[in-house]
């Protein structure tokens, strides 16, 4: 921010999301006065405890929910529903089970000429390492492979922005590590803007340029932690550990799980 | 014992036991009206020889086909529309739920009044019997569809008919097929009942005719056996639909 050649892609100003409470007049604020900025090509993680509203915030930015109050601009326009240039990757996996891997990846390309579509599908199948699985159905794939299909589908459709809502949450530990390093590789090659929501602090520090820490009460972005570390990241380096512990501290506990 | 052998040998053993008990029971009772298994088999042979067996089977299948195809053509689109458009659901669902529990048998007098004793009457009854399970399962399929598919589709800019064709319909298809399978079973139940009253051919007619014209219970039971066997074949055929790659995901691990 402040740098003239960096263009703001996502701008959220004073965003509130409220529901009517049980008692008349009582309002439950899922989000309170949220502000955030993401610049072009940036990888930003929103981290917070479950139920803090981070997923709600991502759904508002993605155009699937409407905020109660506030201003949300993405790519210089007010958000008015979902947009094919900005694709959401879902935790529960939005890959269509009735289509093969290549049909799924080509889903967003049906308006393009046949040859271009086939080329792009082939390119992104290779990028996410699914060669040989073109004709497979999602039920024949592992959870990690299905998430790769969903990411490839977003990339193939030429999405400029990816919204990722705990996309690796349902995967086992080793698969998650592999998916993170693959995502970083793809992000570096494709220069997309990524807004990534997770409850996993380690994941956020491994991935992001910046981590936005959300808290439950109040439901807002408490603090921003810049992760100015080279990639691939050394998970034992003092810089990594310091950033991780700083986020633990903001969320009100130490790195060993104790309360603060 | 491996599974395949288990699933062939055990039914054969059960079948042999049942046929033996049937035979023994008839002999012990001293009945000369109720047939033994051999007499039923002889009855089937007699019908086959006269060319009636094939004729009656074709007649019944013909009526089921027409009523059932009409029910699919009406029920699937209607169910999809009711599942998707809330006002349509609000307006029509209460009446579907009122009409649904009325047995097709109760419609027989009405069918005779409207269509006379022609083929149209049983076809109408079969249509009535199968259209409700198909409509309701198609409707539920859309209502229970996983939201994530809908959101993904909207994210890619799909709307209107395209959204229906490329996402809502394929997402609902496994449950629609299950409804179709149930409906075909019901349709087959009903064709027999309908033929007992309204027409002069078909397996239902065979049963009632054999009873009325000389208490031929060997032919009555022969008709029952054929109904059971054809019902099984129909179910096996529809189950094959569930094996297609486009819908297999919808049936869990089998």
What ipTM, to 2 d.p.? Answer: 0.89
Q: Which of A29-33, B33-37, B189-193 is the least confident region? A: B189-193
Q: What pLDDT is stored for residue B144 in this prediction?
A: 94
- Interhelix angle B169-198/B203-212, rounded to 10 degrees, is 20
Q: Nearest residue of A to residue B246 by CA position?
A: A98
Mutate to test the interface with A, among B152, B154, B159, B246 (most CBs of A within 10 A): B152
Over residues A61-73, the mean pLDDT reads 95
Q: Does the pLDDT at position A200 exceed 80?
A: yes
Domain boundaries, chain B: 37-251
Check pLDDT > 70 for residue A256: no
Q: What is the pLDDT of residue B1?
A: 62
pLDDT beyond 80 at A4: no
Percent of chain A with pLDDT over 70: 95
Selecting from A83, A90, A137 the residue whose C-beta is nearest the C-beta of B148 gives A90
Residue A66 lies in a domain: no
- pLDDT of residue A5 exceeding 90: no
- CA–CA dist A152, A147 (Å, integer): 9
State which residue of chain B sits closest to A64, comparing Cα positions. Answer: B151
CB contact under 8 A, A88 and B151: yes
Confidence of residue A163 (pLDDT cuts 50, 70, 90): very high
CATH T-level assignment (fold) for domain B37-251: MetI-like fold (1.10.3720)
Domain presence at residue A104 = yes
pLDDT band, very low/low/confident/very high, at A2 (cuts 50, 70, 90): very low
Which residues of chain A make contact with B154, given a CB cutoff of 8 A? 64, 81-82
Q: Is A53 exposed, middle or buried (0-12, 13-18, 19+ CB in 10 A)?
A: buried
Q: What percent of chain B has pLDDT over 90?
A: 82
pLDDT above 50 (res B153): yes
The confidence band for B192, taking pLDDT boundaries of 50, 70 and 90, is confident
> Which residue in B has a C-alpha nearest to residue A154's C-alpha?
B156
Is A32 domain-assigned? no
Do you find a cis peptide bond into A232, omega within 30 degrees of 0?
Answer: yes
Using a CB-CB cut-off of 8 Å, the residues of chain B touching A169 are: none
Q: Are A151 and A89 in contact (CB under 8 A)?
A: yes
- Residue A260's pLDDT band (boundaries 50, 70, 90)? very low
The domain containing residue A105 runs over which residues? 86-159
Q: Is residue A95 part of a domain?
A: yes
Query: Does residue A218 have a cis peptide bond before it, meaning omega lies within 30 degrees of 0?
Result: yes
A147 chain-B contacts, CB cut-off 8 A: none
* pTM, rounded to two decimals: 0.86
Q: How many independent structural domains does chain A possess? A: 1
- Among A161-170, A206-215, B195-204, B218-227, whose mean pLDDT is lowest? B195-204
Note whether B155 contacts A87, CB cutoff 8 Å.
yes
CB contacts under 8 A, A 108-127 vs B, are 108
Is residue A152 in a domain?
yes
Phi, psi dihedral angles at A171 (to 5 degrees): -95, 160
* B8 CA: distance to closest CA in chain A (Å): 30
Q: Could you tell me if B168 and B77 are in contact, meaning their C-beta atoms sit under 8 angstroms apart?
A: no
B151·A64 Cβ contact <8 A: yes
Q: Would residue A141 count as lying in a domain?
A: yes
- Residue A170 resides in a domain: no
A84 and B156 in contact by Cβ < 8 A?
A: yes
Radius of gyration of chain A (CA): 19
Residue A24 lies in a domain: no
């Amino acid at each position: 921010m402040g740098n003239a050649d960096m263009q703001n892609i996502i701008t959220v100003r004073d965003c509130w999301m409220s529901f009517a409470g049980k008692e008349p007049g009582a309002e439950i604020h899922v989000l309170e006065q949220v502000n955030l900025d993401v610049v072009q090509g940036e990888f930003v993680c929103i981290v917070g405890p479950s139920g803090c509203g981070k997923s709600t915030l991502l759904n508002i930015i993605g155009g699937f929910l409407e905020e109660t109050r506030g201003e949300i601009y993405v790519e210089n326009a007010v958000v008015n529903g979902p947009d094919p240039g900005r694709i959401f990757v879902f935790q529960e996996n939005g890959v269509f089970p009735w289509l093969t891997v290549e049909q799924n990846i080509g889903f967003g390309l049906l308006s393009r000429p046949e040859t271009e579509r086939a080329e792009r599908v082939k390119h992104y199948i290779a990028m996410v390492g699914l060669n040989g699985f073109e004709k497979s159905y999602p039920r024949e794939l592992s959870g990690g492979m299905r998430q790769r299909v969903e990411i490839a589908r977003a990339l193939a459709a030429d999405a400029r922005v990816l919204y990722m809502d705990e996309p690796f949450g349902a995967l086992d530990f080793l698969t998650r590590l592999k998916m993170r390093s693959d995502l970083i590789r793809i992000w570096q090659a494709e220069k997309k803007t990524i807004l990534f929501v997770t409850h996993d602090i380690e994941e956020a520090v491994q991935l992001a340029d910046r981590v936005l820490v959300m808290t439950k009460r109040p439901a807002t972005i408490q603090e921003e932690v810049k992760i100015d570390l080279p990639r691939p990241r050394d998970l034992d380096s003092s810089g990594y550990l310091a950033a991780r512990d700083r986020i633990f501290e903001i969320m009100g506990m130490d790195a060993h799980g104790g309360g603060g | 014992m491996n599974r395949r052998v288990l699933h062939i040998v055990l039914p054969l053993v059960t079948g042999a036991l049942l046929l033996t008990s049937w035979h023994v029971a008839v002999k012990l009772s001293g009945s000369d009206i109720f047939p033994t298994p051999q007499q039923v088999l002889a009855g089937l042979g007699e019908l086959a020889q006269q060319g009636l067996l094939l004729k009656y089977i074709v007649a019944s299948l013909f009526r089921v086909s027409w009523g059932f195809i009409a029910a699919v053509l009406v029920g699937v689109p209607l169910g999809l529309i009711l599942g998707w458009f809330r006002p349509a659901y609000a307006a029509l669902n209460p009446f579907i739920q009122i009409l649904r529990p009325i047995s097709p048998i109760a419609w027989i007098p009405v069918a005779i009044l409207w269509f006379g004793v022609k083929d149209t009457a049983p076809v109408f009854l079969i249509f009535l019997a199968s259209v409700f399970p198909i409509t309701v399962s198609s409707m539920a399929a859309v209502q229970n569809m996983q939201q994530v598919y809908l959101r993904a589709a909207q994210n890619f800019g799909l709307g209107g008919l395209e959204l229906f064709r490329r996402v809502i319909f394929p997402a609902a298809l496994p449950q629609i097929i299950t409804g179709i399978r149930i409906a075909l079973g019901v349709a087959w139940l009903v064709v027999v009942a309908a033929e007992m009253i309204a027409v002069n051919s078909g397996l239902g007619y065979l049963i009632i005719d054999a009873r009325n014209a000389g208490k031929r219970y060997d032919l009555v039971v022969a008709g029952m056996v054929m109904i059971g066997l054809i019902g099984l074949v129909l179910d096996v055929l529809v189950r094959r639909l569930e094996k297609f790659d486009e819908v297999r995901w919808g049936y869990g691990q089998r």
